[in-house]
Amino acid sequence: MSREITVAAAQMGPVSVDKGATVERMLVLLSEAAKVGVEVLCYPELSLSPYFPSQLYDSIDQFCEEEFPPRVGEPLYGLAKEHGIGLILPYAEKDGDRYYNSAVVLARDGKVLGRYRKMHIPGWIEPKHGFNCLERRYFTPGDTGFPVFDTPPAAIATQICYDKRFPEMARGLALNGADVIFTASCSPVQEGDNADLNPGELCLRASAHTNNCYVVGAGRAGVEEDGMRWFGNSMNIEPQKGSVVARAATEGDELVWARIDLDRRIDTDRLDYLGDRRTECYGLLL
C-alpha cells in the first residue's frame, strides 16, 4: 500500500511591514491549500516581515516575535487545524537578548511539534556593496540541531535558505528519518544569475536525489520596496531523478502543490545511498 500525502509551498510576493495584512495574504494561500487537500504547507523564510537583513537598523524588534508560537500567526493556526493541515511558519524570533531566523512546526491537529532555528548564517556584519546580507549582524546561529517531526504518514523536516547549500544538513535530516524536507528561502536575484539553472535549485534537487527524500522549496518572489528582486521559483522535487514535479509560474503569491507517494523512491536494493556509506572513511568530514 502506498503512502501518499499532498504537500505544498506557499510562495509569497513582496512583504510589507504590516503583519496583519501579510497574515491575511497567508490565509488566502492556506484556504487554497485546503481546497486541493494539502496536508503539509510551508511558507517562505521570514514570512511575517520584509527581508530586513538587507538594511541597517538600530533595532530589529519591530520585525521579531517573542511569543512561541508567534501570536500574530494565531489565525493561521486555527484555519490550519480546522482543515487538518500541518504548518511550517518561518519568522524572526527574539529569545531574551538573542535573535534567531526560525520556524515553528505544527501538526495537522494543531499541536505545536517544535521549532527549528537556522543553523547556517550567511553574509556579514557591516554593509559592503550591492546586495547586503547582514544576517550575521542580527542572528545567532541555531541551537536546535536537525529535528524531524512526525506528521503521519510523513516525517518532515525544515531547512531555511542558506542551509540548503550544506549537504551535511540534508544528509543528517535523511539519517534522522525525514521523508520530506521543506526549505523556506529568500533568495535574491543577482547579476549573472540564470533562473533556469540557479545554484539554489541545484542544491535542492541534489538533496532530494542523494538523500532519497522529497524536497519542497518555498520562496519569496517579486521586487520588494528596497528594490531587491527575489527568485521565488518555489517547487516540489521527487527523489528518483531529482526532478521538479511542480513549479511556481508567477512572481507573486502562489500555491505550489503536489501529491506525492512516499514509497515511490529510489530502489534501495540497487542504490542505497544511506546504507552504502563508508563512514569509516569519512574522518575528513569531521
State the cell numbers at 50. 520584509
**CB 98 within 8 Å of CB 116:** no
Q: What is the pLDDT of residue 191?
A: 63
**CB 140 within 8 Å of CB 98:** yes
**CB 233 within 8 Å of CB 204:** no
What are the distances in angstroms from CA 85 to CA 17, 219, 257, 278? 26, 19, 13, 39
Q: Give me the amino acid identity at 221.
A: A
Max Cα distance, the chain (Å) = 56
Q: What is the pLDDT of residue 37?
A: 98
State the cell numbers at 102. 526560525
Q: What is the pLDDT of residue 224?
A: 87
Of how many residues is the chain composed?
286
pLDDT tens digits along 222-260: 998 878 889 999 999 999 999 999 999 999 999 999 999
**CB 53 within 8 Å of CB 226:** no
User: Treating both helix axes as pointing N-terminal to C-terminal, what angle do 167-175 and 199-211 enclose, rounded to 10 degrees?
Assistant: 30
What are the distances in angstroms from CA 200 to CA 87, 204, 235, 236? 23, 6, 11, 13
User: What residues in the chain have per-residue pLDDT under 50?
Assistant: none
Task: Write the DSSP string, 181-235.
Answer: EEEEE--B--TT--TTS-HHHHHHHHHHHHHTSEEEEEEBEEE-TTS-EEE---E
Q: Give me the amino acid identity at 253.
A: D
**CB 117 within 8 Å of CB 143:** yes
Q: What is the pLDDT of residue 131?
A: 75
Look at the block and give the residue holding cell 542505497: 272
Q: What is the pLDDT of residue 228?
A: 84
**CB 76 within 8 Å of CB 29:** no
Cα–Cα dist 213/219, whole Å: 19
Query: Is 169 strand, coil or helix?
Result: helix
Q: What is the pTM of this model?
A: 0.96
With CA atoms as reference, report the closest residue to 274 among 185, 167, 187.
167
Cα–Cα dist 149/164, whole Å: 18
State the cell numbers at 200. 539554489
> If you ran DSSP here, which 8-state letter would residue 78 be given?
H
Cα–Cα dist 218/209, whole Å: 18
Q: What is the pLDDT of residue 194?
A: 60
Cα–Cα dist 174/168, whole Å: 10
